[in-house]
Amino acid sequence: MYSGNRIYITLNRPSQWRRCLLHGLEISGNSIVPSEASGVCTMITGSIDSTEHDFRWEELTVDAEMCDNAIIKVSAYAANSAAVSLDGSSLELDGFLTDDTVSCEERLAAAGQLFKPIFRGCLDGPVDLCGRYIWIKLEFFMLDKRELRVNKIKLLLHSERMMDYLPEAYRAEDGENGFLSRYLSIFDSIFFEMDSRIEAMADQLDYRSAKGGMLRYLAQWLCIEDTAYLSEERLRERIGVAAEDNSGLGVKRNLISWIEREYGVTPNIIEYYSVDKLVHEGGDREVYRRLFGEDPYRFFVLLPEKTFANTREAATFMRRLKSRIPAYTEAEVVVTRMGCILGKHTYLGVNSVLREYSPASADEKMRIFNDNFLGRAADEQ
């Protein structure tokens, strides 16, 4: 991988992970995840070839997602040949690491003597080893199985340094490990880390891959409400339909879709023009006038019973609804009951005839006559 004037070798594909020795870990998509509940998880990569004899490996970065109670220990082994001597036997290290005829524990114990610890407790650091080939060993110490995912391992092959811009006289006099070279390397790490983060900013702004605080930050850009109480998957769904929602803001069709998506019910929205003729000319105009009034800027949202679990949810719905309706309009929310009560909003309509109160039960095979009154409680008026 090429990034600016820095060239990396990157391990991030299943074909590369299958060359690794995995203990307590398994391949999941393009990443490595735990396969056991707790303990120590270990992986040793296959050989990484620089194609250059006595190549000096400088820097290693592990892209991993770990919980707070996990510790990582990184070791490495570099050599000019892929053949090694283990317990008096000469063998090819890559083949030995993937040899299923030998138990995983035996392979780890035999190969472990080759590796030199380079850093621990962090995800990047210097390597300072020489050899054409290098093998990386990662050990994860976990108290319990929580979030752990190894996404990629990056090895720096070539880097641009501030020292390279100095005249040859200064570089020759200072040498590779002189004071000036080591001093400028501090600024190299600061500058190139900042440069890499700026370069990766476009990926972080993609809501499909953003996570945690960045995802909630993107949701705030789009004025999505209650981001603190929504899961990441739910937030991605909200962001994905934000453009469509905003383009149809204040439209009846969009309002129905929003209620269906957020609350799982289909509302019945009654606007003034829908009942205008009935209010003024219908036989039940007095009933319609009591129900819907004569205000042309007022509409009604009829919702099924038990749409809201409590009054807090209902208050939240009213607050969100007000931000989605056209200017100078007023919305009245009515939670309809399953019974038919004269002069009130019901599922059966307002043209039912009331003759007497008679208890009744119904299913899909029963016929209900027009003279029946359906109610839930004896004290309903």
Each of the 381 residues of the chain gets a pLDDT tens digit; together they read 444 456 788 899 999 999 999 998 999 888 998 887 667 889 999 999 988 898 989 889 899 988 877 889 999 999 999 998 887 788 899 999 999 888 998 899 889 889 999 989 888 888 889 999 999 999 998 876 667 889 999 998 876 677 777 777 776 666 566 777 778 777 877 887 787 778 777 777 888 878 888 888 888 888 777 777 778 888 888 888 877 777 777 788 888 888 888 888 888 888 888 887 777 777 777 777 778 888 888 888 888 888 888 888 888 888 888 888 888 888 888 887 765 554 555 544 444 444 444 555 555 555 554 444 444 444 443
Q: How many other CB atoms are there within 10 angstroms of residue 217's CB atom?
A: 13
Answer whether 0.95 is exceeded by the pTM: no
Task: Report the number of secondary-structure helices (H) and strands (E) in the chain.
Answer: 13, 18
User: Two tokens at 175?
Assistant: 């040498």
Residue 45, exposed/middle/buried by CB under 10 A (0-12, 13-18, 19+)?
buried
Cβ atoms of 129 and 57 within 8 Å: the answer is yes
End-to-end CA distance of the chain: give it in Å, rounded.
Answer: 76
Q: Return d(Cα 225, Cα 71) in angstroms, integer.
A: 36
Q: What is the pLDDT of residues 258-284, one digit of tens each?
A: 888 888 888 888 888 888 777 777 777
Long-range contacts of 9-16 (CB under 8 A, 24+ apart): 9/48, 9/50, 9/154, 9/155, 9/157, 10/152, 10/153, 10/154, 10/155, 11/45, 11/48, 11/152, 11/153, 11/154, 12/63, 12/151, 12/152, 12/153, 16/45, 16/46
